[in-house]
Every structure is written in C-alpha cells, then in structure tokens.
Amino acid sequence: MDITFRSPLLFRVGWRVWWRDHIRRLHPVDQGVVALRQNRVYVFPTWRGFGFLFTVALMLLTSLNYAISLGFIITFLWFGVIAATLAQTFRNMWGLQVAPISAGHVFAGGQITFTVMLESGKENRERLILLLEDGDAEIISLSSGQTHSVTLRRTTQQRGYLPMGRMKIFTEAPLGLWRAWSYVHFPLRGLVFPAPEVLPPLLPYGTDRKEGAQSGNVGSDDLAGLREYQYGDPIQRVAWKAVARGAGWFSKAFEGGQGQQHIVLDFSRLPIAMDIEARLSRLTAWVLLCDRENRPFSLILPMASLPLSKGIVHTDEALTLLALFPGYVGNGREQ
C-alpha cells in the first residue's frame, strides 16, 4: 500500500496566504455600511507586547523562586496593565462604522484615490491606521460621535478598472502592546486612463464638416480676429503679417460653418510599427490637447467610436473608451 503523507495546507502555502484566503471566505465583499464587531476584529500582541509579556513572566518566575512579596505585587500590577490595554485596544476598534463613498480616476503611473467614510459612534478613536495594497497609510483620530471621510491612494501601473481591494484598519493605541485590526472589502473600482505620450506629433485633421475639403483649407468663413498661436495650429491660419511686423505669433480665428476643422483621431491611421499601448498613449495625448484648446474631435477605434463634439463630457467619454479598449488584460490584483 502506497501511503503518501501530505503536509497541512498552512505549511504548504504559507500562513499569510492561508490567512488572506480565510478572510476572503469569511467576508468576500462588503455592501453598504460595515460595523466592526467581535467577529471582525482580531487582536494579537505586537513585538513590544511580546517583549513586555516575556519580562513580566520572568518577574513572576523570579518572585516564585525567591518568594518575594513585593515582586508578586509588581508582577500582578503589570499583568493588570496588560489586560487593561488589551481591552482598550479592542474597544478602540469595536463599533467603528465604515462606508464606501467614491473612487477616482487617474492616468496610468499615478495614484488613484478611494474615499471612505468613518463614523466613531460613542467611543473616542485614537490613531486608526487605514491601509491599501500599494498605497500610503492614512492615520486618523476621531472624537465621540464624529464622522470623517478618508481618502486612500493606490499606485497604478496599467489602464483599465482598478479595484479598491481589501482595506486594512488597525490600531496599536494606547501603549503599543497589542494590535487590533480588521478588513473591509468594498466593491469600489476606479478607472485608469492610458498614460499620455510626452511629446505627441501635431493633431491629425480630417475633412471640413460641410464642404468636404481638406482640413488645411481655411474656407470662406468671416475673419473673427486673431488669437495667440497654439501648438498644432495649421500653418495656413498663421497671421504672417503680424509675425513680419514683429507683433508676435498669432492665428486667424474664423466664424461660420464652412471652415470648421474636423480633427479625426483614428486608431487605424497610426503607424503600424506602434503597438496597441503606444497608439492609445498617443490618442490620449491628442484628446487632452483637443480638450485644452477647446477643439471638436471625433474618435475612431476598431470596436467603438465617438462622433464629432467637444467639452468635458466628450473628453471623459473618449478617455473611458481608450482606458477600456479591447485587448486589455488586467489591472491590479485583489487583496
């Protein structure tokens, strides 16, 4: 008979992985307001706490060995301090209410923000530390009955949706002998746009909307005046007479419908040598340039498109399409 000994799962995968999976099974996803109760708050001694417990244990053994009455008094006094700090550390977390608020958006490489709301309830909360994976810790103290919003940041690397993941809340107040912690997992997810190209080329122009002429044609519109030259303006619109007089660089501004230029941001017209992410990066830079100069543009992708328009809403729609472009593999990992 072939008998195979299998080690426990805890030793095969590591205690950190086992603990993370255990927490996920207990509380997969939290909806709405979460109140931290006994079944969600965990308490364990810190390294300082272990050292303090070891010292008090030595004091107890010494007092027993030499029958020192004063040693017994001091030892049990310190045991009382340990028990009192244990109860206070637990109460610092117990009853705390946490609720999700919003998730932000950012360009790849930046830090995306997630906002949660904390309500202290009837207890004062000292040095609560909130932490996300790949993010900076936020420390907050709350008075009794206080409600406060906390913004957490998480580092981004790829475009697409980035989940908030598990948020860890812990405290070591008041003396740092014990650590009480809990996990909250809200279904918040932010949107990561492609990182814009640093030095994109000039904007690509399509055809005029009414005449069908090439975009370089000025058309028969009425001259509305001059404005400061902006990067990407067609050379035909430069006010050369003003340049010759030394007045500076200006572009002609026209009124009417025949000469309004149609900026076409077409994924398929980009160089074949560019990969998908490089193309999306260039399109993102062009979208931002059009928004900054208040120019109407259309966006054409292999499986989606946006008609000619301009404005904040149009820009957000374009950036969202670029962030969720097909071929996206994944972004971030759940905690």
Q: CA–CA separation, 80 vs 68, rounded Å?
A: 19
pLDDT of res. 111: 92
| Inside any domain, residue 299 | yes
Q: Mark whether 156 and 215 lie in a shared domain.
A: no
3 state SS of 149:
strand
Q: CA–CA separation, 54 vs 280, rounded Å?
A: 59
Q: Which of 172, 191, 210 is the last residue of a domain?
A: 191
23 and 166 in contact (C-beta within 8 Å)? yes
The packing angle between helices 312-323 and 276-292, to 10°, is 170
DSSP E strands in the chain: the ranges are 34-35, 42-45, 97-103, 105-107, 111-119, 125-131, 138-142, 147-155, 160-163, 166-171, 178-185, 189-193, 222-228, 250-255, 263-266, 297-301, 304-309
Q: Mark whether 229 and 293 lie in a shared domain.
A: no
Q: What is the maximum alpha-carbon separation in the chain?
A: 108
Q: Mark whether 114 and 200 lie in a shared domain.
A: no
Q: Mark whether 204 and 234 lie in a shared domain.
A: no
Q: CA–CA separation, 321 vs 214, rounded Å?
A: 27
Nearest to 112 by CA among 158, 170, 149, 148: 158
| Inside any domain, residue 120 | yes
Q: Which of 191, 209, 239 is the last residue of a domain?
A: 191
| Inside any domain, residue 271 | yes
What total of structural domains would you count in the chain?
3
Paired tokens of 59: 């004091």
Q: Mark whether 54 and 146 lie in a shared domain.
A: yes
Task: List the domain range (segments joined by +) for residue 67.
Answer: 18-191
| Inside any domain, residue 57 | yes
| CA dihedral of 121, 125, 129, 131, whole degrees rounded to 10 | 0
| Inside any domain, residue 334 | no
pLDDT of res. 323: 95
Q: Mark whether 180 and 305 lie in a shared domain.
A: no
If residue 63 lies in a helix (H) or strand (E), which one and from where to where? helix 47-66
Could you list the pLDDT tens digit for every one of the 335 residues in the chain?
A: 444 445 455 555 566 666 666 666 666 688 889 999 988 999 999 999 999 999 999 999 999 999 899 999 999 999 999 999 999 999 999 999 999 999 999 999 999 999 999 999 999 999 999 999 878 899 999 999 999 999 999 999 899 999 998 899 999 999 999 999 999 999 999 999 999 999 888 888 654 444 344 444 444 455 556 666 665 566 667 777 766 776 677 776 655 444 456 789 999 999 989 999 999 999 999 999 999 888 899 999 998 899 999 899 999 999 999 999 985 545 544 44
Q: Mark whether 168 and 247 lie in a shared domain.
A: no
Q: Mark whether 26 and 149 lie in a shared domain.
A: yes
3 state SS of 70:
helix
The reply to whether the predicted model has a pTM over 0.95 is: no
| Inside any domain, residue 13 | no
- Cα 20 versus chain centre, distance: 21
Residue type, 245: R
Nearest to 43 by CA among 170, 183, 184: 170
Burial classification of residue 169, based on how many CB atoms lie within 10 Å of its CB (0-12 exposed, 13-18 middle, 19 or more buried): buried
Instruction: Tally the residues of the chain.
Output: 335
Q: Which of 191, 213, 240 is the last residue of a domain?
A: 191
Q: Mark whether 79 and 123 lie in a shared domain.
A: yes
DSSP letter assigned to residue 7: -
Q: Mark whether 263 and 288 lie in a shared domain.
A: yes
| Inside any domain, residue 12 | no
Q: Mark whether 41 and 97 lie in a shared domain.
A: yes
The string of DSSP letters for 187-220 reads --EEEEEPPPPSS--PPPB-B-TTT--BTT---S
pLDDT of res. 224: 54
| Inside any domain, residue 4 | no
Q: Mark whether 43 and 95 lie in a shared domain.
A: yes
